Structure 1
């Protein structure tokens, strides 16, 4: 097995059905548990924002990214115009574009058509991306798409159920607890990224993001994720290219 999008993993290749069931069976994990708790919080938050059950379930299925869902629920609660809500949700989804660009070459097979790739990309949210980047490169390429579908089937099913339960139990959960549950996902993502950052460039990008994000939030709220990622990631990449040269020049 090689790097991103490299050669397939070694060993016998499972059938598509077996690979699908393998993904379904391996989905229950700490990541899935954290996501379920977060969707419980979203269901309660949607109820408190005046979003009925069926629209809340629709949002979980078709937006499938908690920040966008929370933003839309907040926009509905504030009585914002449709175009404003759509723009806000779109902006929250921009952060998923680089994740999708990185994942697709690893995930797709030789016969994966464009329409199929668009459907696969719909499920590329943070938790799916982290787990896919950890698991898929180790597999034969023929197993990756059906495994991904099995993994996503478990997540979408359990989190629709979590949205339903959270919405039904909103009065018992309360705003504080539901907000705390929502906060579990970004915390888990952050810890996962730190654990999966083997290179100096990755660690620099995280450090720059920590430093830049709060500053950008003070002056351009709503753009802190995009700008801190763009500025911090670019700076980390440049330094990652320069520092090895400097190290060699010092004889280290």
Structure 2
């Protein structure tokens, strides 16, 4: 006798709309948290940077919705300011987003349930960024598996919506702010990157790479200003990889 469950029985146990709505709202409530607030402050800096780059308010808000991950948006602004072409800018944004692939690979199995459609997972993958990933990986295990997609949709969509509003509001009031305040807003974005990456790191090699990057970046800026970031990344990443190999051999 086959042990495969009857499809009718599976449908009978499918989550109801009230259950999905409940977990959607629970996920949405997680967006209002310390990591979520930090993300909002980073988008404050992004809004000021977008205005400085001559990007319209509507386009800046659309970038939050379409690109979502903040590094990709900053890379796009950098490409615009440098006068790069459309294909070059698109390639730079895509390249910066590749770093999220391991996060998607780790998160999708946690969200997949017995009835979860692939299209649903593809759509939810759009909301994967450092903040949403960190919150989800800490809380998803407490959510019933068949309701995890509803939970994460609430978390991801509300994070996007809140930061779209933040960008629009800051863009509107930025011209009235003193120059010192605007300059301070620009610093929020790199500070967010630094604290988020440090907080989400799980291996010693990651900390080593960040520390060497912080030290080598300014030093290489004086030696080779045009290749300081690339050089710091290659050297810091190479040293961190060597540390990783040494730890693996000792284990």
> Which band: TM-score by shorter chain?
0.7 to 0.9
How many residues get paired? 225
In structure 1, list runs of 5 or more residues that go unmatched.
1-12, 245-252
Q: 1:142 to 1:106 in 2, by over 3 A?
A: same
Report the secondary structure of 2:113's partner residue.
coil
Report Cα offsets for 1:52-102 as digits up to 9, x if no partner.
111111101010011111121222233221111111111211211111111
1:107 aligns with 2:121: no
- In the alignment, the residues of structure 2 paired with residue 124 and residue 180 of structure 1 have an alpha-carbon distance, to the nearest angstrom, of 24
1:242 positional shift: 2.7
Offset, 1:229: 5.5
Which of 181, 193, 196 is matched with 2:188 structurally? 181
1:8 aligns with none
Report the secondary structure of 1:184's partner residue. Answer: helix
Any conservation in 1 of the 2:28–2:151 contact (CA below 8 Å)? yes
- Bigger radius of gyration, 1 or 2? 2
Contact 1:205 1:235 in 2 (8 A): no
The question of 1:88 aligning with 2:92 is answered yes
Structure 1 residues 137-157: Cα deviation after superposition (integer angstroms, max 9, x where no partner): 333212321111111122111
Out of 9, 12, 19, the position equivalent to 1:15 is 19
Cα distance in 1, alignment partners of residues 214 and 113 from structure 2 = 37
Structure 2 residue ranges without an equivalent (≥5):
1-14, 221-226
Which of the two has greater helix per residue?
2
**Residue correspondence of structure 1 range 60-79 to structure 2 within 5 A:** 60-79=64-83
Displacement of 1:230 in angstroms is: 7.8
Q: 1:44 aligns with which of 45, 48, 70?
A: 48
Is residue 148 of structure 1 aligned with residue 149 of structure 2? no
C-alpha distance in 1 between matches for 2:147 and 2:235: 36
Q: Aligned to 2:49, what secondary structure does the other structure show?
A: helix
Could you state the TM-score of these two structures normalised by the residue count of structure 1? 0.78
**Which residue in 2 is equivalent to 1:206?**
207
Task: Tell me the equivalent position of 2:12.
Answer: none
Match of 1:116 among 111, 115, 120: 120
